Amino acid sequence: MAQYRKRSWTFYVLATFFILFVLFLYGPMLAIYILSFQGPTGGLTFPLNGVSLHWFGALFEQQRTGDFAGSFTRSILLAFLVMICTVTFSVMAGLAFRRRFFGSTAIFYMAVASLVMPGLFLSLGIGLIFRVIDVPTNWYVSALGAQLTWTLPFGLLIMFAVLSRFNRSYEEAARDLGATNRQTLQYIVLPILFPGLIAVALFGFTLSYDEFPRTLLTVGPGNTLPLEIYAMTTTVTSPALYALGTVTTVVSFAAIILSLGSIAIIQWRRGGRFRK
């Protein structure tokens, strides 16, 4: 674009705006990561009183900060379960939606409604149902279901975006070359869609790992990590809270780097063309 290639003044204004936005986005998070390395005598604000891993150690002292290890394990396991279900079911549904079938519109709208539904509403509803059928709520059934009402619609929308760029002639070409339906899916469709599947997995994992309101009334006796952190915000007034935040974020970042890294590698291998 000739006009913009000259780097007009708007470029510099917007670039500054963008940098400020990024600072706004990351600055505070950076602050708590740094503060989590606060020395044993340090407090909730700057300056740092020495540098230590003291507050990370404090996380494992049961009485002080609640059940960190238990909730952490629970959250990771749940996130993996949600991720697997989200990838499998939204890919299947995404493939189904490529054809018109009876009820497709209804299911689509149900998914969208589920996405914008206030989380605690569902949490309450699911909690009530489990009371009615007299089954105790637990993280691996009721909380799993509650989180899926949030991750499946996301997965489905991502699949729509991914499949809208998928050229159907790949499948026809595979069939033309003698592949069965299963072979076409296994050797052609899934591998080509693989970067999209990783994106769905990333959403499934992180959305579950950080989910709060839907889990609140459905998780049963043991907390997940976000619930634990929420409880801590009112009871813990030490940098241990920040240490917990840092640990949580490390897991999130590991998931993000792993997913985006593998997508980048795959796209690079397919000819260095990064397609958004």
Partner 1 sequence: MKVPSSIVPYIQVAPLALILLVFFGIPLVTVVVVSFFDYVNFQTVPAFMLYNYEEVFTSGLTITLYLTMLKYSVIVWLITLFIGFNVAYFLVFHVQSLLWKIFLFLVCTVPFWTSNIIRMISWIPVLGRNGLVNQMLISLGLIDEPLDFLLFSDFSVIVAYVHLFTLFMVVTLFNSMARIDPAILEAAVDAGASRWQVITQIVIPLTKTGIALGSIFVVTLVMGDFFVVKIMSGGQSSSAVYAMWNEISMLQYPSAAASAVILLIVVVLMVVAILRVVDVRKELSG
Partner 2 sequence: MAQIGGIELANVTKQFGDTLAIDSVSMIVPPGTYCCLLGPSGCGKTTLLRMIAGHDEPTAGDVLIDGQSVLGLPPAKRGTAMMFQSYALFPHLTCLDNVAFNLKVRGVAKAERRKQAHEMLDRVQMDGFADRVPAELSGGQQQRIALARSLITNPKVLLLDEPLSALDEFLRLQMRGNLRQMQKEFGITFVHVTHTQMEAIAVAELVIVMDHGQIDQADSARGVYDTPHTTYVARFIGGQNVLGGKVVRVESGAALLEDARGNRFTVPSGDPAPDTGETRYLSIRRDWIEMEKLADPSATHSDAVNSVVGKVWMTEYQGTWVKVSITLPDGEEFVANINDGTFFANPAREGDTVVARWSAEAVHSLEHRESSFDTSRGGMQA
Where in 208-247 is the site for partner 2 (CB under 8 A)?
A: none
Cβ proximity to partner 1: between 120 and 192 the closer is 120
Q: Contacts with partner 1: how many residues (CB under 8 A)?
A: 95
- DSSP per position, 206-273: HHHHT--HHHHTTS-SSPPHHHHHHHHHHH--STHHHHHHHHHHHHHHHHHHHHHHHHHHHHHHTTS-
> Using the rule CB under 8 A, which residue among 173, 257, 264, 265 binds partner 2?
173
Q: Which of partner 1, partner 2, none has residue 178 at its interface (CB below 5 to 8 Å by kind)?
A: partner 2
> According to the binding rule CB under 8 A, does residue 51 interact with partner 1?
no
* Letter string b/e over residues 43-52, b meaning 16 or more CB atoms within 10 A of that residue's CB: eeeeeeeeeb
Q: Which of partner 2, partner 1, none has residue 170 at its interface (CB below 5 to 8 Å by kind)?
A: partner 2
Gap between the Cα atoms of 57 and 54, Å rounded: 5
103 Cβ partners below 8 Å, 6+ apart? none
Which one of the spans 42-50, 59-67, 169-177, 186-194 is the region binding partner 1 (CB under 8 A)?
A: 42-50
> According to the binding rule CB under 8 A, does residue 101 interact with partner 2?
no
> According to the binding rule CB under 8 A, does residue 188 interact with partner 2?
yes
Query: At 38, is the secondary structure helix, strand, or coil?
Result: strand
Q: Which of partner 2, partner 1, none has residue 17 at its interface (CB below 5 to 8 Å by kind)?
A: partner 1
Which one of the spans 52-60, 76-84, 85-93, 190-198 is the region binding partner 1 (CB under 8 A)?
A: 85-93
> According to the binding rule CB under 8 A, does residue 169 interact with partner 2?
yes
Cβ proximity to partner 2: between 179 and 258 the closer is 179
Gap between the Cα atoms of 79 and 211, Å rounded: 10
How many CA atoms, within 13 angstroms, populate the side-chain half-sphere of residue 79? 24
Where in 124-183 is the site for partner 1 (CB under 8 A)?
A: 124-126, 128-129, 132, 145-146, 148-149, 152-153, 156-157, 160, 164
22-27-54 Cα angle (round to 5): 145
> According to the binding rule CB under 8 A, does residue 163 interact with partner 2?
no
- DSSP per position, 138-190: -IIIIIHHHHHHHHHHHHHHHHHHHHHTS-THHHHHHHHTT--HHHIIIIIIH
> According to the binding rule CB under 8 A, does residue 180 interact with partner 2?
yes
Query: At 51, is the secondary structure helix, strand, or coil?
Result: strand
> Using the rule CB under 8 A, which residue among 28, 136, 191, 261 binds partner 2?
191
> Using the rule CB under 8 A, which residue among 73, 114, 138, 183 binds partner 2?
183
Task: Let me know if 105 is exposed, middle or buried by CB neighbors in 10 A (0-12, 13-18, 19+).
Answer: exposed
Cβ proximity to partner 2: between 47 and 272 the closer is 272
Q: Which of partner 1, partner 2, none has residue 64 at its interface (CB below 5 to 8 Å by kind)?
A: none
Q: What is the nearest approach in angstroms of partner 2 to the Cβ of residue 167?
A: 7
Q: Measured between alpha carbons, how far is residue 220 from residues 111, 138, 215 in Å?
A: 25, 4, 9
> According to the binding rule CB under 8 A, does residue 179 interact with partner 2?
yes
